[in-house]
Amino acid sequence: MKDYQALVFFDLDGTLLDKESQISKENHEAILELKKKNSLPIIASGRSPKEIKQIIEGTPIDSYVSLNGQFNVAENQVVSKHVFSLTLIQELMALTEEMGHSLACYTEAEYAACYSDNSMKKLYHLDNAPMPQISTDFHKTHEIYMMYLFSEQPEKDALYREAFAERLTFFRDSPYSMAVVLKGQSKKAGIYQVIESLKLSHVPTYAFGDGENDLGMFEAVQTAIAMDNASTYVKSQADFITKSHVDNGIQFGLTHFGLLD
């Protein structure tokens, strides 16, 4: 295990990825150069391990915080994973059905929902990702690490948070959805778990992000960098605001902090 000079965490959507949900040529080159300069690039995303592995193929990235901290990997080794109980899933499903919202359940490699709706379609179109398979039994036969709740009614978010205040955390990460994780888990917790497993708590840490689910990531590192396409509130929580994700914001931020020439 190398003694890196810095750890750099990257959100994917709206941060490291372009409008087509791909790593641009410029960002690919930045990651290669970062690794050459003895800094460790690490993904921290709400996406699943399978999606992350597909996205980072061809890069030197081998560590990631996935499913908003529910499934975490360091140097290709799983260091922590957090499973929902069947009872908890069924309780949330009952409330989403009452509210008229759909819910998708995520494993390490797959995801499924009991039914689809327009909010779900909008979210997966936004992320350039395949729609979930439709199954009423998927959550009964698989280990579930994260759930996605599809709703375009943010005024009802508090109802979910109040109902599961002691057991779940809800991150509204798009106009169409909330990511759902176990209480105490988040990108922040996942980052701590990865750093501890690497025994690199003494190394300077940086994070790039754009969404509300990145705020915990910002808290976990020494230097938080918001993309220019982030909301005003997310920007207010950052130490530095770089250019947007479609305007070489990653390279600009890395260069600003001396991680790239």
CB atoms within 10 A of CB 181: 25
Helix locations, the chain, DSSP H: 25-36, 49-55, 86-99, 118-126, 138-141, 157-163, 187-198, 215-220, 232-236, 249-256
- B/e letters for 85-106, b = 16+ CB within 10 Å, e = fewer, are eeebbeebbeebeeeebbbbbb
Task: Tell me if 202 sits within 8 A of 6, measured CB to CB.
Answer: no
13 is catalytic: no
Size of the chain in residues: 261
CB atoms within 10 A of CB 172: 16
CB atoms within 10 A of CB 135: 16
Tokens found for residue 193: 């778990």
What is the spatial distance between Cα 132 and Cα 104, in angstroms, rounded to a whole number?
7
Give the residue numbers annotated as catalytic, written as ranges. 11
